[in-house]
């Protein structure tokens, strides 16, 4: 160790050798810092909703890890190989091969993004009056299940609703809760289990291999299929490798195949794990379901060999899938998230623990404990962070949870969070240091924070477009 007078790297301070990203930068996109006055005006004009800001007015954009990834030189080269034939594009066959090889499902239906696949699966599987159990809701997933006439039932383990609980697999399904639901409503009313890895709304928390294995055994007894939201399943598999006994030496790509083999199919937002800017798919083993999905995709997305995408997008996805499952990539991707998480924890700032795969989630309920939940503490914290430094995050609390369709009241989720999501291969450690310092500054000012009132509230997925105003002092 160097003597005290010489500054130490973060790695040395933790008594370890540092790792670095398995890439170097070939092209850059300038970003710039604005003034505090500018940002105060910008967020007011955006109705205190970071979705309504212009991206040019953002310094470090952690709104989402969706479609914000940097593609590799191989992916950019792949764009030039786009076969833009209406039918039978060679890029479709390359993508089909990549999905078969890495996820293991037989049949592939491309869609323009994840919700296109959610729409098709929900429409062909769910009948009015059905129940869809899942390990915590996701906004678009649940909405499509509801629009198809289903009722989503949360069967995630209780630990997932507690930001401070250190359970290593907080995405796990509570099999007793699922069994109770099956006994209550009957297996014939459950078209499938909606299983997500990792669980976005719980903080990017993984599902263990032991849990999916046990889930398979339980559902097999009742003939209920399992469909997987594979959007961040590679990240989930990294956590299995790191945390689950028996998986320490296994490549993530192998763990992914094993996990998927316990499920009947998946839907995918390729804008996350698969390292592209647009794209998604639905994949399954069942021939009959495939025939239905392939028929449905031509109504809503496009022919079954392009599904609303250009041939070049299919090619970028096929290459991205392969890159995303490499151990060195996934380790540095999750490692960057962990780097910010560790810093905030060292400073005593409340965040969801353990740190998840794609984002840091600030515990707004704790940080702004003086603001009641119906005054939108996480929305307010997101706006305050933007004003402090131009860092853009997203509310994941009462606004995102929306209203109960039966009663029309707000749903009051236990988790009231601000998500700082990391685009893949985009920001450096210096950017992350800036984010950490800004979170700390806002945290130190927390006593001054005020709640919000919702002015405009759209009917569907209100968090995207709702407008707010500060409550008077
Ligand atoms: N499932 C999960 C777990 C997601 O996180 C998303 C999108 C979708 C499905 C829908 O996919 O956007 O391609 O239509 N999540 C983004 C986010 C929007 O910011 O977390 P999509």
Q: 197 C-alpha to center of ligand 1: Å?
A: 12
The tens digit of pLDDT for each residue in 410-425 reads 999 999 999 999 999 9
Q: What is the CA radius of gyration of the chain?
A: 22
Average pLDDT, the chain: 96
pLDDT of residue 4: 64
CA distance 131 to 145: 9
**pLDDT at residue 7 above 90?**
no
pLDDT of residue 10: 78
**pLDDT at residue 213 above 60?**
yes
- Answer yes or no: 170 catalytic: no
- The answer to whether the beta carbons of residues 145 and 126 sit under 8 Å apart is yes
**pLDDT at residue 3 above 60?**
no
Q: 346 C-alpha to center of ligand 1: Å?
A: 30
- Answer yes or no: 48 catalytic: no
The tens digit of pLDDT for each residue in 235-246 reads 999 999 999 999
Nearest-atom index, ligand 1, CA of 271: 13
Nearest CA to ligand 1 atom 19: 64
Nearest CA to ligand 1 atom 10: 114
Is residue 236 in contact with ligand 1, taking CB distance under 6 Å? no
- Answer yes or no: 50 catalytic: no
Q: Which of 142, 200, 203, 461 to mutate to test the pocket of ligand 1 (most atoms within 8 A of CB)?
A: 200
- Answer yes or no: 17 catalytic: no
What does the pLDDT average to over 131-158?
Answer: 97
Choice among 139, 141, 151, 198 that is catalytic: 139
**pLDDT at residue 128 above 90?**
yes
- The answer to whether the beta carbons of residues 335 and 14 sit under 8 Å apart is no
Taking residue 252's Cβ as centre, other Cβ atoms within 10 Å add up to: 25
Nearest CA to ligand 1 atom 18: 66
Q: Which of 140, 394, 417 to mutate to test the pocket of ligand 1 (most atoms within 8 A of CB)?
A: 140
Say what percent of the chain tops pLDDT 70: 99
The tens digit of pLDDT for each residue in 292-318 reads 999 999 999 999 999 999 999 999 999
- Answer yes or no: 139 catalytic: yes
**Domains in the chain, please, with CATH?**
7-65+327-470 (3.90.1150.10), 73-324 (3.40.640.10)
pTM of the predicted model as reported, rounded to 2 decimal places: 0.95
Q: Detail the DSSP E strand segments found in 63-219.
A: 107-111, 131-134, 151-154, 193-196
Is residue 145 in contact with ligand 1, taking CB distance under 6 Å? no
pLDDT of residue 15: 84
- The answer to whether the beta carbons of residues 469 and 452 sit under 8 Å apart is yes
């Amino acid at each position: 160790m160097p003597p005290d007078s010489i500054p130490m790297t973060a790695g040395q301070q933790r008594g370890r050798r540092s790792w670095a990203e398995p890439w170097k930068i070939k092209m850059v996109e300038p970003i710039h810092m604005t003034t505090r006055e500018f940002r105060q005006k910008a967020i007011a004009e955006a109705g205190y909703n970071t979705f309504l800001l212009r991206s040019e007015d953002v310094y470090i954009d952690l709104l989402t890890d969706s479609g914000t990834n940097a593609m590799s030189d191989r992916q950019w080269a792949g764009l030039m190989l786009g076969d833009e034939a209406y039918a039978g594009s060679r890029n479709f066959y390359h993508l089909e091969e990549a999905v078969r090889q890495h996820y293991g499902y037989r049949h592939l239906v491309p869609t323009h993004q994840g919700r296109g696949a959610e729409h098709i699966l929900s429409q062909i599987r769910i009948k009015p009056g059905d129940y869809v159990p899942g390990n915590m809701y996701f906004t678009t997933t649940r909405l499509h299940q509801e629009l198809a006439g289903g009722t989503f039932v949360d069967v995630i383990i209780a630990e997932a609703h507690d930001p401070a609980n250190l359970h290593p697999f907080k995405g796990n399904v509570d099999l007793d809760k699922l069994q109770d639901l099956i006994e209550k409503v009957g297996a014939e009313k459950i078209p499938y289990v909606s299983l997500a890895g990792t669980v976005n709304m719980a903080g990017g928390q993984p599902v263990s291999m032991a849990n999916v294995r046990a889930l398979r055994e339980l559902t097999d007894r009742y003939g209920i299929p399992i469909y997987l939201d594979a959007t961040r399943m590679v990240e989930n598999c990294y956590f299995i490798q790191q945390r689950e006994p028996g998986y320490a030496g296994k490549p993530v790509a192998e763990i992914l195949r094993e996990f998927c083999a316990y499920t009947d199919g998946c839907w995918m937002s390729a804008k996350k794990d698969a390292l592209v800017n647009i794209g998604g798919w639905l994949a399954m083993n069942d021939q009959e379901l495939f025939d239905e999905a392939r028929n449905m995709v031509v109504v809503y997305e496009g022919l079954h060999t392009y599904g609303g995408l250009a041939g070049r997008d299919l090619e970028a996805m096929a290459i991205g899938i392969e890159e995303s499952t490499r151990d060195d990539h996934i380790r540095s991707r999750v490692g960057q998230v962990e780097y910010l998480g560790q810093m905030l924890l060292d400073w005593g700032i409340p965040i969801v623990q353990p740190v998840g795969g794609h984002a840091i989630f600030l515990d707004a309920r704790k940080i702004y404990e003086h603001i009641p939940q119906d005054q939108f503490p996480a929305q307010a914290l997101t706006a305050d962070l933007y004003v402090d430094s131009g860092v853009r995050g997203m509310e994941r609390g009462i606004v995102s949870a929306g209203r109960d369709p039966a009663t029309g009241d707000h749903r009051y989720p236990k988790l009231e969070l601000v998500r700082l999501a990391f685009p893949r291969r985009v920001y450096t450690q210096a950017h992350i240091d800036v984010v950490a310092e800004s979170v700390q500054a806002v945290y130190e000012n927390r006593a001054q924070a005020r709640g919000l009132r919702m002015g405009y509230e759209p009917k569907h997925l209100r968090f995207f477009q709702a407008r707010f105003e500060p409550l008077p002092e």
